[in-house]
Chains A and B, each alone.
Chain A
Amino acid sequence: MKKILAIITVAAITAMAGSAMAATTSTDLTVSASVSEVCTAVTNTNIDFGNLDPVGDPATTSTATKTGATRGVINVKCTQGTGYKLSAPATATIANGGDTITYTPVVPLADFTGIVAGTSHTIDATVDKSAYASVPTGAYAGTLTVTVTY
């Protein structure tokens, strides 16, 4: 034990002497960076009402409950901990040429906390039978914009 202490003492004295004698000029260096608060959304699955029957369907058809319909799914990725909300127009349309069907998008209304890995959200839509009771048969399509606000 005594031998170890003695060696340490000698080394420390030597180092102190060295730094005291060597000329050194110092200054501060500040390193900074900002991490962006950002979110992105991608569509995993599109919405599809399937076949709409102006005669046999209930008053309102929802992708959430209709057999054969497809619910939409979007994936939202955000900077860790970023709060965000989803929104969509109150109504939107799908069209076939000049004919349109108005439907209602249904997005989850909640305050979400983003993660980098991403969170999937189901986007539904409902359509009243009255909206397609008198339109020509055929395939209707449109684009729905879902907004992520953070």
Chain B
Amino acid sequence: MCRWYYDEGWKMMRCKAFFKVLILLVISWFPLCQTPVFGATATNQIQVAATILDRGHCSFVTPGPYAINFTPALNPLSAIDRSASVSFSVECKGLGNKPGAVIVDRDGYSQLYLEKGPDAIPYSLNLPTSAPVTNNTPVSITLTATIAGTAYKNAPSGDYSDTITINVIP
């Protein structure tokens, strides 16, 4: 193939060499052009580990469900902040002689609402962040729900309710 071009004369040889150089240049630049698209492709693997400490196991002394009921009824014409509570006992085992702590939380973190069909009254629930416990000794936990007066001032009359899941940890 090279010989055939050589027979055609020096110009043709030179042209073929030029295209060879051009192709090589394009090939050599191609990775450079692709650099911004692919970015850094280096990868690394990090080992992640955790150990769950044995903090015993706590449970409700009296099985639920529990209820908080606002009584007397909310009066929108004299709307004031109202609170209602429920108390229950939690007992922890497996602590040995070590002091422990129990946490009561609820599923989800969104705004809570008492609902009646399309009508809703926002409320808040105060959960103890941590209560000290000792092994096999019931401890009383109080949950308090609060409704702001402004939350029900314009609410239609009727019965409102909400059900949430509360958890005792550990």
Among A14, A22, A79, point to the contact of B156 (Cβ < 8 A): A79
Among A22, A23, A32, A36, point to the contact of B67 (Cβ < 8 A): A32
B114–A28 contact, CB under 8 A? no
B163–A28 contact, CB under 8 A? yes
B57–A31 contact, CB under 8 A? no
Among A10, A23, A35, A77, point to the contact of B157 (Cβ < 8 A): A35
| Chain A residues whose CB sits within 8 angstroms of the CB of B167 once the complex forms | 24-26
Q: Interface-forming stretch among B1-9, B10-18, B20-28, B145-153?
A: B145-153
Among A14, A21, A26, A79, point to the contact of B166 (Cβ < 8 A): A26
CA distance A92 to B163 in the complex (A): 53
Cβ of A60 under 8 Å from chain B: no
- Chain A residues packing against B (C-beta within 8 Å): 2, 10, 13-14, 17-18, 21-40, 77-82, 116
| Chain A residues whose CB sits within 8 angstroms of the CB of B152 once the complex forms | 33, 35
- Chain B residues packing against A (C-beta within 8 Å): 43, 46, 48, 50, 52, 55-60, 63-70, 73-77, 82, 84, 86, 106-107, 112, 114, 121, 123, 125, 143, 145, 147, 152-170
Q: With A27-B165, A31-B114 as given contacts, are A77 and B170 in contact (CB-CB < 8 Å)?
A: no
Q: With A22-B170, A27-B165 as given contacts, are A36 and B154 in contact (CB-CB < 8 Å)?
A: no
B65–A14 contact, CB under 8 A? no
User: What distance in Å separates the Cβ of B139 from its nearest Cβ neighbour in chain A?
Assistant: 14
CA distance A27 to B114 in the complex (A): 18
Among B43, B155, B158, B162, point to the contact of A31 (Cβ < 8 A): B162
- Nearest first, the 8 A-B pairs at minimum CB distance are A27-B64, A37-B157, A33-B70, A28-B65, A21-B52, A32-B161, A34-B73, A23-B57
CA distance A26 to B166 in the complex (A): 6
| Chain A residues whose CB sits within 8 angstroms of the CB of B107 once the complex forms | 26
